[in-house]
Amino acid sequence: MLKIMRNIGIMAHIDAGKTTTTERILYYTGKSHRIGEVDDGEAIMDWMEQEQLRGITIQSAATTTYWKRAENGPPFQINIIDTPGHVDFTAEVERSLRVLDGAVAIFDAVHGVEPQTETVWRQAERYRVPCIGYVNKMDRVGADFFPVLADIRAKLGANPVALQIPIGRESGFEGVIDLIDMREIRWDAASDGETMLYSPIDPAREGPAREWREKLIDALSSVSDALTEKYLAGEEFEAAFIRTELRKAVLNRAILPILAGASRRNIGVQPLIDAVVDYLPAPDEVPPVTGHHLKKEEAVAVPCDPKGTALGLVFKIQNEREAGALCYVRMYSGAFKPGTVVYNAAKKKRERANRILRMHSNKSDPMEELAAGDIGVIIGMKFAQTGDTIGSEGWPVVLEKMQFPEPVISVSIEPKTLSDQDKLKEILALLSREDPTFTTRENEETGQLIISGMGELHLDVLVTRIIKEYNVGAKVGQPQVTYRESVGRQVERRETFSRVIAGKENAAALVMSVKPEPRETGNRYSCAVSASKLRGIPDAILDAVERGVRASFASGIVLGYPCINVGVTLTDIEYSELTGTEFAYEACASLGFDEACRSADPILLEPIMAVDLSAPREFVGDVISLVTQRGGQVLSMNSRPGGDEIRALAPMAKMFGFMTSLRSVSQGRANFTMEFSHFEKKNEKGAV
């Protein structure tokens, strides 16, 4: 069963055609009976009202479909996750790639490798996800297949190999030449592209076809010994042999096979489905996932075995009014049946899997069991959060948690009436459970609720959902930048604490050192007290010190913003059995941290954004001027047929309302994407 299963994701830059391609896959595999168009707001995978209104994907949507590769063979089960392309929803891509075995990277034939393509490619590399490429929009003005291959090689460092080359260009694009079977393929428009027409290669196109097939064989021979031997022996290559060797190369991420098409015109999708089956891995073909055994304190390999001990990862939570929390789970070992008890290893709690469903966007079918290698939804778990490992109490293994970027933009939100206050807090808690990059906190001084997210669009979507989807009247303040605090120099501080509570003295004394850490290392706590000094001090006391320090990281130094890149070392500790309590040491550590940081030249750090702009050549000067006026620093420029690309860094605080200004100076013809880059010391003049 595992051999005929594929878990894949569709990933790309915004507007490259991910959802459009997914809709065609569902139509041609028989899962849907009509083609849903994104432009009409009828895409099956974009089921949220916000997605249909805005014409973008906001939440990753999961579905399962089946495809017969051979006439007599069994149908392959393909679990698909359609991911967002907008940078504000990068967490959706992150958690999807974490649980997928393979991915389809879609490239725009006009723009090639775009900024968000690079981001998702890095995410796929981090999780070692084998990929195939699909160059979409081959029918657009300015579309050119071959420069896209060069762009992939230059920007992604991949090894792209064409499996097809296009027939015709731009509006004259009519099909592809299959370089493995050496034939031409066209799609019948009258049947919505369902009927594929095969023909021998036209003599006029024979030369380029032979040239690109040679390049395919050459690229494959550099990673396949079996193919090299055949090549040197002068033997002919059968199509099945090429596919077998190509599959091995893709699984090792040595080659990125590239196909071409125009999904909107129903051209090129069926060979893409074939490529998913032919080249992307089955769940048991990827390396075993590594977990951490909580009792043995050691790493354990978890092979994909449906008969093994149950182990799965919750990679997404979605709230539904009637069913409650839908927990999306990827199973890595064993199986769960409806009604069984599930152990949440991260929370150390037992939960019950009341129902198990197979999702098709926002619709579902019941499942008899969720087995290793498969993806499904469990209903009934109350404590599970994104990244939690669920399994069996007798085998407490935790899988590596997912890492999500820090929110960089905040707004205040308050209910319009007092009666809405509790409801608003409840909904904010639900949404932050769904989305790990959405956080909510209460300002202690003003009592305001502050929500934080990845960008203006991210917060706009969430606020609209609160008002329209959950029917809560709310007023929203102006966007505010989420700053961070750090220290400028190293300082050592001795701190004492003594307080009588309920007639008992609580006392503590310790020495700690704080110092700045390099950028992007995060906060660090360590204990450098000698082993002889630690003898006789309970572990609970040392844990209390660490708790006090780590809690202080979140509460800031001077202005109350969270700390970042601060290293804290406990260098000495004094302990008395009579007066030493956990409460005293936790409070002492917190006070010591606060005083040490205040005398260590505290600094304010602001978020710096990586800005990628594209503009027609005649507006480039005005666009660069606009960026520098906002304190930006241009890093590079790249000329392309459709216009110039500019890369820059700019402070987040100066980028509010940038789109309006950009449209104004470029007559609406320039566009940009922006994502968080790093935190840097705030410059009073606002320049990077």
What is the CATH classification number for the domain harbouring 555?
3.30.230.10
Low-confidence ranges of the chain (pLDDT < 70): 1, 31-61, 82-95, 321, 361-362, 401-403, 405-406, 443-447, 640-642, 683-688
Query: Could you tell me if residue 688 is inside a domain?
Result: no
Rg (CA), the chain: 28
Q: Which tokens belong to 236?
A: 């002919």
CA atoms of 521 and 678, how far apart (whole Å):
11
According to the model, what pLDDT value does residue 40 have? 45
Write the CATH number for 641.
3.30.70.240
According to the model, what pLDDT value does residue 446 have? 62
Same domain, 563 and 618: no
Query: Could you tell me if residue 650 is inside a domain?
Result: yes
According to the model, what pLDDT value does residue 560 have? 82
Q: Examine the fold and report which residue of 252, 267, 285 is the final residue of a domain before the chain moves on.
A: 285
Q: How many CB atoms lie within 10 A of CB 397?
A: 23
Q: Which tokens belong to 289?
A: 């996932």
Tell me which residue range forms the domain holding 465: 409-482
Same domain, 586 and 528: yes
Query: Could you tell me if residue 228 is inside a domain?
Result: yes
Query: Could you tell me if residue 91 is inside a domain?
Result: yes
Query: Could you tell me if residue 687 is inside a domain?
Result: no
CA atoms of 592 and 579, how far apart (whole Å):
19
Same domain, 300 and 318: yes
Amino acid at 50: Q
CA atoms of 127 and 122, how far apart (whole Å):
9
According to the model, what pLDDT value does residue 57 have? 42
Q: How many CB atoms lie within 10 A of CB 60?
A: 25
According to the model, what pLDDT value does residue 478 have? 75
* Strand, helix or coil for residue 325: strand
Return all residues near 182 (Cβ < 8 A) that are at least 6 apart: 201, 209, 213
Q: Which of 256, 45, 21 is nearest to 159 (CA)?
A: 256
Same domain, 302 and 439: no
According to the model, what pLDDT value does residue 43 have? 45
Same domain, 444 and 509: no
Predicted TM-score (pTM) of this structure: 0.70
Same domain, 235 and 103: yes
* Strand, helix or coil for residue 101: coil
Same domain, 379 and 417: no
Same domain, 437 and 501: no
Same domain, 415 and 428: yes
CB distance 493 to 572 below 8 Å = no
Same domain, 573 and 540: yes
* Strand, helix or coil for residue 15: coil
Query: Could you tell me if residue 526 is inside a domain?
Result: yes
Write the CATH number for 375.
2.40.30.10
Number of folded domains in the chain? 5
Q: Examine the fold and report which residue of 367, 399, 431 is the final residue of a domain before the chain moves on.
A: 399
Same domain, 8 and 45: yes
Long-range contacts of 619-626 (CB under 8 A, 24+ apart): 619/665, 619/666, 619/667, 619/669, 619/670, 620/644, 620/646, 622/665, 622/666, 623/662, 623/665, 623/666, 623/670, 625/665, 626/658, 626/661, 626/662, 626/665
Same domain, 507 and 550: yes
Q: Which of 525, 508, 526, 443 is nearest to 482 (CA)?
A: 443
Q: Examine the fold and report which residue of 600, 633, 661 is the final residue of a domain before the chain moves on.
A: 600
